[in-house]
Structure 1
Amino acid sequence: MAKPIRATPTLRGEEARKFLKLMEKRENSPMSEIDRKLFANVEKHRKYFESFLN
């Protein structure tokens, strides 16, 4: 039988501030070439991906 999954711990204090700074830095950074290609591919096949949601 599978073991139960524990809850993800909540970030507090300095850990939370570090995480927010990292996320802000990532959000403001330019897209990498790989990310750009992936995004273009998703946009190209958007209807196909959306068909799974309906």
Structure 2
Amino acid sequence: MSDLRPKKRRRYSPEIRRSMIMQCTADIVARDGVANLSMEQIGREAGVSKSLGCGLN
């Protein structure tokens, strides 16, 4: 029987979350090139919403 409960979400500090997003972005660029980079892909691979990634300064 599979577990139907939703996955427990973790709340990271802004510094850790920013580091995770930046690392995922660097990994995507290294793998696929900057021309193929998208906010949707960053969000999906970093496990955050695409709007959260847009707010990085």
Q: So what's the TM-score if we normalise by structure 1?
A: 0.37
| Greater relative CO, 1 or 2 (CA 8 Å, sep 6+) | 2
**Larger Cα Rg: Structure 1 or Structure 2?**
1
Q: So what's the TM-score if we normalise by structure 2?
A: 0.36
